Amino acid sequence: MDKLAKCPANYVPLTPLTFIKRASMVYAKRTSVIYAGVRFTWYQTYERCRRLASSLRSLNIVKNNVVSVLAPNVPALYEMHFAVPMAGAVLNAINTRLDAKNIATILRHSEAKVFFVDFQYVPLASEALRLLVADLKETSHEKIQHEMPLVIVIDDIDKPTGIRLGKLEYEQLIRHGNPKYNGEEVEDEWDSIALNYTSGTTSAPKGVVYSHRGAFLSTMSLIQGWEMSTEPVYLWSLPMFHCNGWTFTWGVAARGGTNVCIRNTTAREMYNGISTHNVTHMCCAPIVFNILLEAKPHERREITTKVNILTGGAPPPAALLKKMEDLGFDVMHAYGLTEATGPALVCEWQTKWNQLSQDRKAKLKSRQGVGILTLSDVDVKRKETMESVPSDGKTVGEIVLRGSSIMKGYLKDETETAKAFHKGWFFTGDVGVIHPDGYLEIKDRSKDVIISGGENISSVELESVLFNHPNILEVAVVAMPHPRWGESPCAFVVLKNPTTEEEIMVFCRKNMPKFMVPKKVEFVKELPKTGTGKVQKVELRKMAASFLITMDSKTQKSSSSSVTDRSWYHQQEEKVIAMSRI
Amino acid sequence: MDKLAKCPANYVPLTPLTFIKRASMVYAKRTSVIYAGVRFTWYQTYERCRRLASSLRSLNIVKNNVVSVLAPNVPALYEMHFAVPMAGAVLNAINTRLDAKNIATILRHSEAKVFFVDFQYVPLASEALRLLVADLKETSHEKIQHEMPLVIVIDDIDKPTGIRLGKLEYEQLIRHGNPKYNGEEVEDEWDSIALNYTSGTTSAPKGVVYSHRGAFLSTMSLIQGWEMSTEPVYLWSLPMFHCNGWTFTWGVAARGGTNVCIRNTTAREMYNGISTHNVTHMCCAPIVFNILLEAKPHERREITTKVNILTGGAPPPAALLKKMEDLGFDVMHAYGLTEATGPALVCEWQTKWNQLSQDRKAKLKSRQGVGILTLSDVDVKRKETMESVPSDGKTVGEIVLRGSSIMKGYLKDETETAKAFHKGWFFTGDVGVIHPDGYLEIKDRSKDVIISGGENISSVELESVLFNHPNILEVAVVAMPHPRWGESPCAFVVLKNPTTEEEIMVFCRKNMPKFMVPKKVEFVKELPKTGTGKVQKVELRKMAASFLITMDSKTQKSSSSSVTDRSWYHQQEEKVIAMSRI
């Protein structure tokens, strides 16, 4: 029994690259990618990937090199999900909402060899590159053999603008590439395929590394968990830079689907895409529901197909779920994190729930659910004792995961990697319960993450920036309900010298990405603390929940005012996205 | 990038055992198994598996030991698919249609440590054990430390009969087992999980070994390839001893479904199961279609749910497909073999085909299709040159497969293992073409090509034409020696209505090229079949060889007469297992 050896016929490394090769053969003539007036078939997409991969090799890209990209959901970014690993390299899709400083940090930390930049982000990328040069000059005495990445601009493929940054343009690489190049062989499924920086969960962004094995398995189980059947028409409302589009970059190829690429997640572009191409599937944070629901009549288009939405990032409020379903969307809730290659749990629907009331259904749907099939284990444990909590829907513990879809670790960060992997488990930092039916529900995030418009904001990171302000003595940041973003950061500040909210806002805008800037700064005499001197964020969250954020529909800017009536929030459920967090 | 190491949190061996543990947690109260008056939940099924596994350990079963079982599709056989590997052992589900000699050969070759026997098969098993004892005595001088397996009878769980073979009974093991036993840890996903003997395609049965990895991946991709959604109700019409029920033993647990176990694949039991439990899925060979279609009125029950059928083993004739769909079944065609852990290709349906005529649709559906997602590669090659054939739907070559769902190899048979794995591929022995749309179609088993007057005739093709004749129930075509053409096709036909040879000849001449028309049609009561229901063409060829074809030199027409008695076939019944037993 033991003598039967692995051989090339029966042991082939698991990799999502299988999907594109297969798609090019069995879905050759089917539409792979649609973007504005551009359409490709799977045969063409694979050929473009082959060309790009061979061009990358010609540019001296070798195994384990990092190829960074700053782009919206355009065909180029989709193609790079296959072409970069085909060249043996590791794809680093950068969050386009980051500021130049963060981008520079990522380019430096990842030692990116190539940096693809969509024409739209040329100013941001230029600034990041400027900071990187300055940074490198400063530390040139170190022995780090760091080189600046080769910059390649991605012009608009539908309507070229001529905007350039450096000499090379994406389509040149495609044109000059070898259409017969087969790609480097994946020698070991543990080899790295992607590098995604977490934003905000701690003060320093961490580079999460995925293996080919992990990416393959996550893709397989998410197709299955969401029950994405053959020939899906997938709208790219979720940024591909979010855990590689929750693996659906690879998944749509696996299912022979059509990728509908859009540049911006506006109501007009989304409705247009859905209606024109009969979209069947899309992923997004619950914030996008608001965009769809609040669209102006002229932005809307009739939706005739059933659109399946996989949502995550924050628990979708029941009221919002109901509205979406009324509009004809079928929403499934998933829970995950970058370290778990996107969704790790899905709220698998049970037939018997169909008989329940709309409210009860929405409540069940907003739970985080059950582990996907390639996760070996999901549990809720008391960290101190490693004991599992009982499945009573009450006893809280930390959510822990185990399985081959968990990241390889954090790039060049042994300390954080060791911290994340504890006694055989990955610790999510999220606190939850297990219901008697085995479904899991998050009760709180232990790391104080604020999820604003689908983006994670670390309150710790924000606090550390604010603390640099000369007039601030103490600061604590918590989540505050926000009608547009779901949550937004609210800063409680104890001053040492007089200053104004506006002044602090200006300071923030200078020192952090726009989406991280607190929507409200509240000055207090002192912060509520526990006996041991820890800030009682629970108390601050209660206060923040009472701040009235109103949306000025004309300026799209929000303003806030404190109200005393705690019940305000519940009265506003129609307008405000409720967060299930306490 | 290279420094990130595997750890227990991010690298867990792939194994179908994940599915049952998960099912016991997230589908705890859902019905797992139904058999006559017996019902279990997933929590109970897992507990029963834990108990059985711990009992097996108490009986000194250790890693890599083989546990054989001879049983129909009863709950015990289902449970053993998890309990046996939980004990670290390898499950060997024996084809119940084999004769005692074959069973004895398997028990000896596999060195089975335990032999579970369903009460119904006690006489057969006793005879097999008698042969095994005799065989062992004969060779006792050899150094083989072979022991007789421990025999454990499986009594009927619904209506115990009291029939025993040896002292132990299955439910005793369950009762005395430890309900908290977690099972042995799978140390390496390459470890063996199952051993399935191929029957009939060659003279000596070969023991095909599956790994945990292969079983996990095949299960995942078949769930996905068939688009088996959550909460399926699965009817066990396919024997679990066929490639572990084409992996759906594990797959139903993965999807939190319900296993409807039946003892016999009779029309009554199938209709009853489908109607009573609202079956959504079932697998079977096309021969089972006949059982369903030819059922007597009193055996039938109304079918109100849509039943998805996955069929394979032989290409389903278009006419048969149409009849099944008229009855409300939704048939998907798959192609595979024991060495590929069951289905390796599925005929994935394309939406655009919905507009085609019924005939054209059936023709498309009868093709073998496209590779499942965990197969790394499927190709059709000329063996001599290893060149791929063009995708023209015409050029034939041998179908070759590569990927982690291919068997580890043949147990204790290095020669055959080496033969099967050739230049990095697994050679199926089947001859086919690739159509321009990437779909593969088998033209023949390489042995079944009839070469007549220099023309290649596919017996499969000929059979599918003949099958359209309204009076034909079953048909098999083999080569017959011919004085003029070297070989010519000979058709063995089972009739449902009386007809003449001449009438069938006229039908053939109308529906196929002249050179393909069988030179002889022989009516038989039933076709000789292997235990797995494959027509034993070897036997038919022997019969065909005995038909004397004489050439009338004046008319250039040939006439034939059987030189042997027509009852020849029935005299062979001792040797040949007829399909009517299923």
Q: How far apart are the first and last CA of chain B?
A: 56
Residue B196 with chain A: CB contacts under 8 Å: none
C-alpha distance from residue B279 to each of B244, B271, B300, B309, B323 (Å): 20, 10, 15, 10, 19
Determine whether the interchain pair B370/A22 forms a contact, defined as Cβ–Cβ distance below 8 Å.
yes
Do A437 and A352 meet the contact criterion of CB atoms below 8 Å apart? no
Name the nearest CA neighbour of B452 among B415, B422, B481: B481
Task: Report helix, strand and coil shares of chain A as percent, to nearest 5.
Answer: 35, 25, 40
Of A12, A223, A231, the CB nearest to B376: A12
Please report the DSSP string for B216-277 in residue order: HHHHHHHHHHTT--SS-EEE--S-TTSHHHHTHHHHHHHTT-EEEE-SS--HHHHHHHHHHH
Residue B256 with chain A: CB contacts under 8 Å: 348
Give the Cα separation of B106 and A91 in Å (integer). 51
Half-sphere exposure of B388 (CA within 13 A, CB side): 14
Of A220, A231, A348, the CB nearest to B373: A220
What pLDDT does residue B297 have? Answer: 95
What pLDDT does residue B74 have? Answer: 98
Name the nearest CA neighbour of A473 among A455, A499, A452: A499
Distance to chain B for A508, nearest Cα, Å: 34
Determine whether the interchain pair B421/A10 forms a contact, defined as Cβ–Cβ distance below 8 Å.
yes
Reported as type and span, the H/E element at residue A105 is helix A100-110
Give contacts of B 340-369 with A, CB under 8 A. Answer: 348-351
Do B480 and B545 meet the contact criterion of CB atoms below 8 Å apart? yes
What pLDDT does residue B257 have? Answer: 97
**Mean pLDDT, residues A433-462 taken together:** 79
Of B8, B11, B209, the CB nearest to A4: B209
Distance to chain A for B406, nearest Cα, Å: 5
Name the nearest CA neighbour of A152 among A244, A272, A59, A234: A59
Residue A404 with chain B: CB contacts under 8 Å: 10-12, 14
Determine whether the interchain pair B64/A1 forms a contact, defined as Cβ–Cβ distance below 8 Å.
yes
Determine whether the interchain pair B402/A8 forms a contact, defined as Cβ–Cβ distance below 8 Å.
yes
Half-sphere exposure of B138 (CA within 13 A, CB side): 7
Q: Which of B3, B10, B379 to mutate to test the interface with A (most CBs of A within 10 A)?
A: B10
What pLDDT does residue A537 have? Answer: 82
DSSP letter, residue A352: G
For residue A413, the chain B residue with the least C-alpha distance is B4
**Mean pLDDT, residues A381-407 taken together:** 92
Low-confidence ranges of chain B (pLDDT < 50): 143-145, 200-203, 553-556, 561-582
- Strand boundaries in B338-446, DSSP class E: 342-346, 370-371, 375-382, 387-388, 397-403, 409-410, 421-422, 425-434, 440-445
Give the Cα separation of A82 and A96 in Å (integer). 20
What pLDDT does residue A560 have? Answer: 53
Q: Hey, is the C-beta of A6 within 8 angstroms of any chain B C-beta? A: yes
Give the Cα separation of A477 and A493 in Å (integer). 9
Residue A409 with chain B: CB contacts under 8 Å: 4-5, 10
What pLDDT does residue B448 have? Answer: 67
For residue B213, the chain A residue with the least C-alpha distance is A11
pLDDT in tens, A284-342: 988 788 889 989 999 999 888 899 999 987 767 777 888 888 888 999 999 999 999 99
Residue A426 with chain B: CB contacts under 8 Å: 9-10
* Dihedral angle over CA of A404, A406, A411, A414, nearest 10: -90
pLDDT at A139 over 60: yes
Give the Cα separation of B324 and B508 in Å (integer). 24
Determine whether the interchain pair B19/A373 forms a contact, defined as Cβ–Cβ distance below 8 Å.
yes
Distance to chain B for A353, nearest Cα, Å: 13
Residue B28 with chain A: CB contacts under 8 Å: 437-438
Q: Hey, is the C-beta of A523 within 8 angstroms of any chain B C-beta? A: no
pLDDT in tens, B105-141: 999 999 999 999 999 999 999 999 999 998 887 766 5
Name the residue with higher pLDDT: A563 or B83: B83
CB-based burial label for B341 (10 Å; 0-12, 13-18, 19+): buried
Q: Hey, is the C-beta of A10 within 8 angstroms of any chain B C-beta? A: yes
Q: Hey, is the C-beta of A12 within 8 angstroms of any chain B C-beta? A: yes
Name the nearest CA neighbour of B184 among B90, B85, B82: B85
pLDDT at A197 over 70: yes
Give contacts of A 253-292 with B, CB under 8 A. Answer: 254, 256
For residue A422, the chain B residue with the least C-alpha distance is B9
Domains of chain B: 453-581 (3.30.300.30)
Q: Which amino acid is at B81?
A: H
User: Regarding beta strands A409-410 and A421-422, do their DSSP bridges make them parallel or antiparallel, or are they unpaired?
Assistant: unpaired
Q: Which of B281, B376, B379 to mutate to test the interface with A (most CBs of A within 10 A)?
A: B376
Give the Cα separation of A561 and A551 in Å (integer). 12
What pLDDT does residue A359 have? Answer: 81
Determine whether the interchain pair B254/A373 forms a contact, defined as Cβ–Cβ distance below 8 Å.
yes
Name the residue with higher pLDDT: B573 or A544: A544
For residue B420, the chain A residue with the least C-alpha distance is A9
Of B10, B19, B230, the CB nearest to A421: B10
Measured in residues, chain B has a length of 582
Determine whether the interchain pair B409/A5 forms a contact, defined as Cβ–Cβ distance below 8 Å.
yes
Residue A439 with chain B: CB contacts under 8 Å: 26
Q: Hey, is the C-beta of A403 within 8 angstroms of any chain B C-beta? A: yes
What pLDDT does residue B121 have? Answer: 97
**Mean pLDDT, residues A434-459 taken together:** 79
What pLDDT does residue A17 have? Answer: 98
Of B8, B351, B401, the CB nearest to A402: B8
Q: Hey, is the C-beta of A37 within 8 angstroms of any chain B C-beta? A: no
Give the Cα separation of A102 and A178 in Å (integer). 35
Distance to chain B for A302, nearest Cα, Å: 22
Q: Hey, is the C-beta of A209 within 8 angstroms of any chain B C-beta? A: yes
Q: Hey, is the C-beta of A185 within 8 angstroms of any chain B C-beta? A: no
The first and second tokens of residue B302, run together, are: 């109304």
Q: Hey, is the C-beta of B29 within 8 angstroms of any chain A C-beta? A: yes
What pLDDT does residue B191 have? Answer: 97
Q: Which band of pLDDT confidence, cut at 50, 70 and 90, is reported for residue A71?
A: very high
pLDDT in tens, A145-192: 557 999 999 999 999 999 999 999 999 999 999 999 999 999 999 999
What pLDDT does residue B445 have? Answer: 62
The first and second tokens of residue B449, run together, are: 């090509």
How many CB atoms lie under 10 A from the CB of residue A268? 16
Q: Hey, is the C-beta of A380 within 8 angstroms of any chain B C-beta? A: no
DSSP letter, residue A95: P
What mean pLDDT is reported for chain A? Answer: 87
Counting runs of H as helices and runs of E as strands, what totals does chain B give? Answer: 18, 32
Reported as type and span, the H/E element at residue B457 is strand B455-458
CB-based burial label for A229 (10 Å; 0-12, 13-18, 19+): middle
Q: Hey, is the C-beta of A8 within 8 angstroms of any chain B C-beta? A: yes
Percent of the residues in chain A that have a pLDDT greater than 90, as a whole number: 63
Residue B217 with chain A: CB contacts under 8 Å: 14
pLDDT in tens, A76-116: 999 999 999 999 999 999 999 899 999 999 999 999 999 99
Name the nearest CA neighbour of A53 among A22, A85, A25: A85
> What ipTM does the predicted assembly reach?
0.84
Give the Cα separation of A81 and A85 in Å (integer). 7
Give contacts of B 44-63 with A, CB under 8 A. Answer: none
Lowest model confidence (mean pLDDT) among A407-411, A578-582, B564-568:
A578-582
The first and second tokens of residue A423, run together, are: 């006694």
Of A5, A26, A438, the CB nearest to B438: A26
Of B10, B21, B26, the CB nearest to A404: B10
Give the Cα separation of B472 and B355 in Å (integer). 30
What pLDDT does residue A580 have? Answer: 22
Determine whether the interchain pair B12/A377 forms a contact, defined as Cβ–Cβ distance below 8 Å.
yes
Please report the DSSP string for B58-122 in residue order: HTT--TT-EEEEE--S-HHHHHHHHHHHHTT-EEEEPPTTS-HHHHHHHHHHHT-SEEEEEGGGH
Determine whether the interchain pair A404/B371 forms a contact, defined as Cβ–Cβ distance below 8 Å.
no
| Angle, alpha carbons A318-A321-A322 (nearest 5°) | 90
Our measurement of the distance from residue B290's CA atom to the centroid of its chain's CA atoms, rounded to an integer in Å, reads 17
Q: Which of B26, B27, B193, B280 to mutate to test the interface with A (most CBs of A within 10 A)?
A: B26
Name the nearest CA neighbour of A300 among A321, A280, A279, A327: A327
Q: What is the pTM of this model?
A: 0.84
Residue A371 with chain B: CB contacts under 8 Å: 22, 26
Helix, strand or coil, per DSSP, at residue B421: strand
Distance to chain B for A46, nearest Cα, Å: 15
Reported as type and span, the H/E element at residue B328 is none
